[in-house]
Amino acid sequence: MPRLIHCNTYFEFELSGQQCFPLATYLEKMPLILQLQYIPLLFASSEDYLLVSHMPSDKFIKALHDFLPNPPPQLCTLETLPQADELATWAYSKQWAKWAQKNQLSYQMPDWECVAKVNSKAFCTKHAQQLPGSQLIHSKAELDRWVGNQKQTFVLKTIYGVASTENITCEPKHIHFSKRQQKLVENEWKLGRPLIAEPWVERVDDFSSHWRLSNNGTIQFIAATPIQNTASGCFINSLYEPDEQRLHKLLPYLNEHKSHAIKLLELIAKEGYYGPVSFDAMTYVNASRDTKLHPIVEINARQTMALANVLCQHRHFPGKTLRMGYTQDDADKHLLPSTIESSSGRVLNLPKQISLEVVR
């Protein structure tokens, strides 16, 4: 019997307390998240069904079949569910677990409190080596004290912020929140969630490692991927080079990163988590212009865009070096839908696109 899969890249919003149902109405408010739900078309098995909020055009489906060496998964909506016995999601979800139970589908997930805990940036700050001077901030008084000691630009982060979108960059010894930022900060503290304060640094190289934890604590390394990010840490693209020895400049840092990652994985397993885990890391230049490793920037206990690149290579381009990322190239080469018809009949223009490049 086929497996049902759903790409809930809105996972962090659920961690923050949002409700994702009704699905189509929810995703129509977030065009990028709506668009990213189609990512598993690039790596999932043709025997799977990808559950989406909106069906893309026949033209898009045909173009995708023509591009990929192997058939993509089939598509369905909540109104056209096939016979299936299992649900799998991009990230664990309490709401989808309830939905699966209601629809008599198997859905494997660790305890939800454990999922929320290990995905929190506060967990990473407590248990991983941080940038010098980084601190959890629980109140305005703590923030004022910390800001008063800063001599360089710094960043404030929420513990469930998505891809740096809730980061607040401030100048030394001075902080001025917009009304939206002030509301965000105060709401985090009201919910008992700290902010993460850390110095702004000049990034050199970004990379991620990808792992799987079994429910008996076994650790499996999957791959490492160099990442191109913006200066603020927003994803642009990832490179999957199956031969790590080709990553000459990164190799010493990658090996050091792996040792930090394994220690964290052992701790995460003790917390009761199992499933996919990716770690972001970066090298940066310090005040003395020395290149340093920030071994664990973030823990992503879920699937990621860079992991999707690895899985796509495994399924469609084995042995090849593959680059996947956002693009503004010719629309005919786009691998995600660029428009969708909404539930009210409006045409929604979707904001980004993904391209694949076989490097060698």
The CATH classification of domain 132-199, taken from the options 3.40.50, 3.30.1490, 2.60.220, 3.30.70: 3.30.1490
Q: Determine the pLDDT at residue 164.
A: 55
Given a contact cutoff of 8 angstroms between Cβ atoms, the answer to whether 110 and 123 are in contact is no
Is the peptide bond between 22 and the residue preceding it cis, with omega within 30 degrees of 0?
yes
Nearest 10 degrees: Cα torsion 88, 92, 98, 101: 30
* CA dist., res. 311 & res. 327, Å (int): 19
Single pTM value for the model: 0.91
Question: What are the distances in angstroms from CA 104 to CA 15, 58, 87, 97, 320?
Answer: 24, 31, 10, 10, 40
Same fold, 114-121+201-305 and 132-199: no
Q: Determine the pLDDT at residue 287.
A: 80
**For each successive 10 residues of the chain (360 residues), what is the average pLDDT?**
94 86 89 94 97 94 94 96 96 96 96 95 93 89 83 84 67 74 84 88 94 96 93 84 89 96 98 98 91 96 97 97 82 78 86 88
Q: Determine the pLDDT at residue 246.
A: 87
* CA dist., res. 140 & res. 186, Å (int): 9
**Fold annotation for 114-121+201-305:** D-amino Acid Aminotransferase; Chain A, domain 1 (3.30.470)
* CA dist., res. 49 & res. 2, Å (int): 7
Q: Determine the pLDDT at residue 216.
A: 94
* CA dist., res. 325 & res. 69, Å (int): 19
| Long-range residue pairs from 131-137, CB within 8 A, at least 24 positions apart, any chain | 131/198, 131/199, 131/201, 131/284, 131/294, 132/199, 133/198, 133/199, 134/196, 134/197, 134/198, 134/199, 135/196, 135/197, 135/198, 136/194, 136/195, 136/196, 136/197, 137/194, 137/195, 137/196, 137/197
DSSP classification of residue 133:
T
Question: What are the distances in angstroms from CA 302 to CA 29, 108, 340?
Answer: 23, 13, 26
- Map out the domains of the chain as residue ranges: 3-109+333-354, 114-121+201-305, 132-199
